[in-house]
């Protein structure tokens, strides 16, 4: 029973990390290219997902790329009109 639970936990961790690698933007991935992280997560069952979680994920302090706002939503633009 323990063996089955370990296998299920490894599969769930791998699926979670594959989805997270796929959803992460290319510029935010640390240490290696995103395709190499995906390969490592899939091919190295326990080491790959754990290394992604500790070394590859974008850190919480990493700013996301600035998304262009419409002129009526941009506070700086509206301030300049006065």
Query: Do residues 39 and 22 lie in contact, with contact meaning Cβ atoms separated by under 8 Å?
Result: no
Give yes or no for residue 16 having a pLDDT over 90: yes
**Can you read off the two tokens belonging to residue 11?**
């599969």
30 DSSP assignment: -
Calculate mean pLDDT across residues 11-29: 90
The predicted structure's pLDDT at residue 68: 66
28-63 residue pLDDT tens: 888 899 999 999 999 998 999 999 999 988 876 655
- C-beta contacts of 13-19 below 8 A and 24+ residues apart: 13/46, 13/49, 13/50, 14/41, 14/42, 14/45, 14/48, 14/49, 16/49, 17/41, 17/48, 17/49, 17/52, 17/53, 18/42
**pLDDT band for position 80 (50/70/90)?**
confident
The predicted structure's pLDDT at residue 31: 85
């Amino acid at each position: 029973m323990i063996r089955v639970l370990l296998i299920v936990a490894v599969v769930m961790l791998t699926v979670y990390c594959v989805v997270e690698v796929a959803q992460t933007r290319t510029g935010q991935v640390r240490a290696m290219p995103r395709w190499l992280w995906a390969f490592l997560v899939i091919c190295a069952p326990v080491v790959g997902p754990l290394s992604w979680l500790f070394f590859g994920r974008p850190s919480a302090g990493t700013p996301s790329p600035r998304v262009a706002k419409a002129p009526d939503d941009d506070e700086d633009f509206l301030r300049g009109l006065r």
